[in-house]
Every structure is written in C-alpha cells, then in structure tokens.
Amino acid sequence: MLVLASPPGGGKTTITRELMRLDPMTTLSVSATTREKRPGEVEGQHYFFVSHGEFQQMVDRGEMLEHALVYNGNMYGIPREPVETALAEGRDVLFDIDWQGNRRLNEIAKNDVVSIFMLPPSWDELEKRLHGRAQDSAEEIIRRLGMAQDEISHYDEFQYVIVNNDLTDSIACVRGILEAERAKRHRLLNVQDFVDTLEPSAKK
C-alpha cells in the first residue's frame, strides 16, 4: 500500500495518475464519500458516492479500512474489499490521502504501508500553484493554505520525503522508491523456492 500525501497543490494527484499510467502493476484506491458529485466526476473512478446512512452502515459492517469526518461535514473513507482484492492479485495500491489517513493505515497494516510525503519547493510556489488553478475562490485558497500548513507539520510521520521541484524528477523518485520496496526480501513471494533452484545439482 503506497501512500502519496502532500499539502494542497503539492502535486500528489498528478504524480499518482502518472505513476498508474507508467506502471501497470499499480491501481488507485477509490474512496467513498457522502459529499455531492461534482460536474465531470465519475462514480467508481473519482469516488464512490453514498448517503450518510449508507456510509455509516459500511463502517458498522467493518467494510472501511479507514474513515474520517472532514471540515465540511462530509465523510470520507477507503472501502476494504477493492484494496484487499488488488493486493491478493499482486498489484500495489496507491492511496491519495492525507496524514490522518496515513496514520490510520499504519495502525492497521504497518508492515504493508510505504508512505511518501511531497513538499513544495517553497511557500511562494505553493501559493502560485493554488492561484494558478483558477478554480477556487479567494476564501477557498486561504482555507487550502491553512490546510497546507497543517499537512506540512506532519511530514515527519512519513518514511520518505520528496521536495517536488520538478515533476519529472519527482515521478522518477517515487518510481525508484516503489521498485526498491518491491525488492525487499519480506515482500518477495516464494523467493526461498527460487533460491532452492539455484543450488548446484548433486554430482553423479
């Protein structure tokens, strides 16, 4: 389970999408939410859109890996079944979540979680990126900058930290981390069976 986190405007969503495009063995965890669907969003691709009652039922049935109530009164959570299915099929699951989601994933599956935090090259650049989106009001940008300060303060809870100066370099760095983590001995399935085949044959 590969967690990519960053402050708003830090680049995690762009990097996540590019990583999926480049690596067929990765898949994105799709969260469930109680908020309304926005124009252009697709059910099951961007989110699973459910009512508050349906969301609570999923929680009560133990169907969520993690969940949280956010600032706008809506619930967000990660359905358990798609993640477990992907992992059983040998695919790595990417999580575009915040520090709180990362903390909860580590509480329930620490040995399976690899976490990366993306930092902006500077505060001025972060503000520039948020203003450059041209899709948020001035009030929303101020709120997002406040969220960014809170997110950045939790960078030390992550295993890896990347300063996102250049998108291409950052993507390459994330791919390198992913390949290195895949090669760790405890993640190699049936490696002992393979090593056994490398023993010299008995002399006749």
DSSP 3-state assignment of 113? coil
189 within a domain of the structure (yes/no): no
| 124-154 residue pLDDT tens | 888 888 877 666 678 888 888 888 999 999 9
* Dihedral over Cα of 183, 185, 190, 193: its sign: positive
38 within a domain of the structure (yes/no): yes
The stretches in the chain having pLDDT less than 50 are: 204
Range of the domain at 98: 2-181
**How many other β-carbons are positioned within 10 Å of the β-carbon of residue 162?**
21
Position 71 scores a pLDDT of 64
| Torsion from C-alpha of 188, 193, 195, 197, nearest 10 degrees | -150
Position 135 scores a pLDDT of 63
Q: Nearest-CA neighbor of 119 among 158, 152, 154?
A: 152
Position 140 scores a pLDDT of 80
Position 133 scores a pLDDT of 66
Position 204 scores a pLDDT of 45
Position 72 scores a pLDDT of 72
Residue 99 buriedness (CB in 10 A; 0-12 / 13-18 / 19+) = buried
Q: How far apart are CA 134 and CA 20, in angstroms?
A: 26
Pairing of strands 92-96, 2-5: parallel
The tally of domains found in the chain comes to 1
188 within a domain of the structure (yes/no): no
Q: How far apart are CA 150 and CA 8, in angstroms?
A: 11
128 within a domain of the structure (yes/no): yes
| pTM for this prediction | 0.85
**How many other β-carbons are positioned within 10 Å of the β-carbon of residue 9?**
23
201 within a domain of the structure (yes/no): no
192 within a domain of the structure (yes/no): no
CATH of residue 98's domain is 3.40.50.300
| Torsion from C-alpha of 176, 7, 161, 68, nearest 10 degrees | -90
194 within a domain of the structure (yes/no): no
159 within a domain of the structure (yes/no): yes
Position 134 scores a pLDDT of 61
Position 39 scores a pLDDT of 85
